[in-house]
Each structure stands twice: as C-alpha cells, then as structure tokens.
A and B are shown apart, each in its own frame.
Chain A
Amino acid sequence: MTAFGKNKEDPLKYVNNIPAENPHIQIKNKEICIDNCENKPCTYYCPGRVCSWSDEEQAIQVDHTRCIECGSCPWGCPYDNIYWEFPPGGYGVHYEI
C-alpha cells in the first residue's frame, strides 16, 4: 500500500491526519476498473497513494486515511469513476506548525 518505489520512505509520516470513520473517497463502479481501465492511473498519480490494485480482491482498494486532500483523484480518473468529497468539518489533514 505504501509502495513509492525502492528506497523511498513513506511521506505520509509527515502528514498530520485526523481521519473520519467513513471514507470520503469511493470507487463508483468497480466493474469499470476491471473492464475498461487498463493502466489504472489512480494507482500512480495520487501523491498519497490512496488507491492500490488488489489482485486478491480484483478491485481498487481505497485507503482514505492516506489522503492528503490534494484534489487530483476525481479529475485524473479517465472514467470519472472516483467519488471524492471533503471529509467532515474538523477531520482530514490538519497542519499546525
């Protein structure tokens, strides 16, 4: 899930996140990922690596606790198949420095 490539540390340890219980990101239709989407760009363009492909489940797995709320995923999906909303007020990334 955290695979950013060899020798790359996981930048998520530098993100202060207060995750809400319910995910604010969802795959709208899992069939589309299997039937239509060859490259699955959501598994690589996301700066937090929220989405990953699971061979076992044969589906994109979404870990919303990794989301840094950059806003890329709904626009980057070639099939408009990612639902994204802001986490509830007071939740999600929280920067205090």
Chain B
Amino acid sequence: MGHDRYDVIIVGAGPAGSSAAKICADHNLSVALIEKGRFPGSKNMFGDTIYRAATEEIIPGFWEEAPIERKVIRETLYFMEADSFVEMGFTSFKFAKPPYNTFTVIRSRFDRWLAGLTEKAGAHLMNSTLVEDILFEKDGPGSKKVGGVILEDGTRIYSDIVILAEGAMADLAQEIGLRKKISTDILSVYVKELIALPREIIEDRFNLEKDEGMNIGMVGFPTAGAIGKAGIWLNKDTISLIVGGHLNHLIKNGLNPYQLLCRLKEHPAVKRLIDGGETVQYMGKIIPKGGYDRIPELYDNGIMIVGDAGMLVSGRHGTDAAMLSGKYAAETAIQAKAKGDFSKKTLSAYQTKINYSFFLNNLKINRKSSDYYKKYPDADFLISKTLNKLVYEFFTEGNLTQEEKFKMMLEKVKSIQPIFKSLKDFYHAVLNWRIY
C-alpha cells in the first residue's frame, strides 16, 4: 500500500526513472516510482535501442532475462535519391555473441520488465498516476527545497528528494523553472510505424541469422529537404520504420511527418523491405535535440532531473544517457540520505558525475556538428544527390575510355557544388550516422 512519505519520489518509470529507482531501492531507500501510463512503457514511443555497456551498469548480465528483440550486428547507411541509393555498412559477427553491443527492444515490454525489477527491490510502483505539481517546503530563512509532489487528485506525497524522469515534455521541470521554454529549432518530431512480418521472412530478407538484427539509417530523399532522417530497425516479428525532422523545417516547408512516412514507404528501396507486412502500430514523438548549450539546470534543493527531461539526449542516442543519469542521481541520493543533507550543494555531486560522463562530453563535441546542419540544412540532400550521380556514372556503361568517364564524373560532382563542400557534407553525414 502507498504511504505519504518516502525517501525518494521518482516521476516517470522509463529507463531513467526505473534505473534510479532500482539503485535507490537496492540501497534500502524507500522509493515511490510514479508512472502516468497504465503500466511502464505503455506510453513510451521511442528509443528502441538499448546499449549493453550502459545497461549492464544497472543490471549486470541483463541480456539473460530481459525481453530483448534482436542483437544488432549490422549498421547500414543509405544515401537516397528518388530512384537509387548508395549504401555504406558494417557487419560484426562478434556483436552476435556475448557480451553483444546493442539490442532492439519493444518499450512496452522492456520498460515493464525493468520497472518490475524495481518492485522486486522494494520500490513502490504507482501506475496510472499523473503528477500535477511539485511541492516546496521551507528549509531555512528565505530558502526552500522541493519536498514532494501533488498528484492530479490533490493527494500530497512527501519526500527528501524528488527525481524528475518525466521525459521529453518535462512539464514539471519547466514549471519550477529549471528548464527554460524550448523552441522549435531544437525539436525534432519523428513518426514510426511498426510493420508485422513473420520472423523467418525478416531474417531471410535482411540476410540475418536467428535473433540477429540490423539498423538502416536513411538520408536525402526521406525528409524532402528538411533536416532529418529516416530509419529502419528490426524486432522479432516487426519492422520499425521511422522518419522525422526538425519541427521548424517541417513547418516552414509545409510538411506533415505522416505524409513523409507514406512517401518513404513507396520508395523502391523501402517498399521491397516491408513488402507484405501489415502495419500494427503508429506513434510519434518529439525529441529535444538542444545539444550541450540547452541542457537545463539539472539539480536544486531536494530535486534532480534525469534522462530526456534533462535533454540528455544526442540524436537517437538517449536510453544510455537516460539510464546512466538515473544511476548517478540515485548514487547522489544515497549519499545525501547518509549525510541527512538534501541541499543543492550536496546534490551538486550529481552534476559532477554528469560532467565526467561520456555522453555529456559527446554533446559538447557535437555542438559543432549541429551548427553545421543549422548552417547547411540541405547538406544531407546535396551529398546524397552527389554520391548517387557519381556512382551512377561510375557503373553506367557507355563505351567510354576510363579517362573520359572520370572526367565526366568530376564534372557531375562539380555541377552540384564545390568538391570541398561535398567532402565536408560527407564527413558530417558519416559523423552523424551513429546518432541520427
């Protein structure tokens, strides 16, 4: 049964919240884990990749019991034009064996499983519960600290620490002023269709052995000129097809994400991959890609922000940063509890851990890359066009001498833009491959 006082209240039972809850509960803190969906994962729409290196810091050897869909062994990038595409890729058979590399999961299964582990550790999971407000209490003359939450029915629950793991919308973080209002230029909106096909057909079609998976990133054609990406990844018996782009670009170009998805499904490269499949789910989500400069204040007296709510997301890379930030917040909460001090000063240990993390440093480095796409929003479109023209000429037979052919290829490339710019576009496309 519920209580009205806990050591820690965690808002949101996604990967960040559940990771924090698990570690706090393992260290005998009393934990309330509050989830607005009917069960954890039931409203969770993206981040279907989980990363072995980050996840095993929370649950060693998790792949033995977690509901995994496939082990990813191949990464492919398509530079697409309307009637051709240039493909780059890498396959590692090492990734098919323990300890693996990345996995695909279905969130309504994985998040539910992870939250189940927190319950076993003693956390109190409250489903179908929306937090309406943050509660403050006085902790000295002129100073206040977060002291709990108010639920939508007015119930008050108190705690020493609140950890906000509320996801991208971050209503609460914004309400209490830790996160500033976000603007459309840092928001991407993605839509996804889940397309069902028998697992043998998926494995045959994508040239995979049982339980192996692959990702395809797609640039150029899919977003019709907006900054954005498309992608395919594989579950046991479904294919995820996604497309999306910067919200301000979609708006400026009069585009609807679902229409982009329909258009992509008709592309011959994609059509044959999903042929015969039956759509079983449609979903959409914004992703705040503010980068390093827009990361909000992550802590204050009695409160910490983790995961997407703290904009700790870099392209499609999000669940690893989410889980690790959850872990760091939990460790900080455990220390604070031992000290009996929940002040901003004590909780600053969380920020220090974040500052030393690989994901924060990546966000810092990638600042330049996102500036590049802001400066050249059509970079992916131009490089896709250039590569396709180049390779088309290379393979087209036309009774030409090698010298004539190369001269012609060079002219084609130059006709689009200076060669140096194409090289830069190519460099950035490849750099962004992992994080689309």
Contact = CB atoms under 8 A, between A and B. Distances in A.
- Real binding pair: yes
Interface string B17-45: 00000000000000000001111011111
Given A47-B256, A97-B194, A89 B129 contact: yes
The majority secondary structure among interface residues of chain B is mixed
Contacts of B106: 97
Contact of A45 (B194, B247, B280, B282): B247
Contact of A4 (B42, B259, B279): B259
A15 B194 CA distance: 11
Contacts of B36: 86, 89-90
Max chain A C-beta neighbours (<10 A), residue from B108, B168, B189, B255: B189
The 8 closest A-B pairs by CB, nearest first: A90-B128, A70-B284, A89-B130, A47-B284, A14-B282, A11-B282, A71-B286, A89-B128
B281 A8 contact: no
Nearest to B278: A14
Contacts, number: 127
Interface residues of A, number: 34
B184 interface: yes
Given A8-B262, A89-B36, A72 B194 contact: no
Given A45-B251, A75-B183, A95-B43, A70 B282 contact: no
11 contacts: A14-B193, A44-B254, A71-B286, A72-B187, A72-B284, A75-B182, A75-B183, A93-B283, A94-B43, A95-B107, A96-B39
A82 B27 CA distance: 43
B326 to A, nearest CB: 21
A94 B42 contact: yes
A11 B193 contact: yes
Contacts of B152: 88-89
Contact of A93 (B43, B193, B286): B43
Contact of B247 (A72, A85, A88, A92): A72
Contacts of B283: 15, 68, 70, 93, 95
Interface string A64-78: 000011111001101
Interface string B158-201: 00000000001101000000000011100101010110000000
B294 interface: no
A27 interface: no
A39 B169 CA distance: 25
Interface string A21-50: 000000000000000000101001111110
A46 B132 CA distance: 25
B225 to A, nearest CB: 15
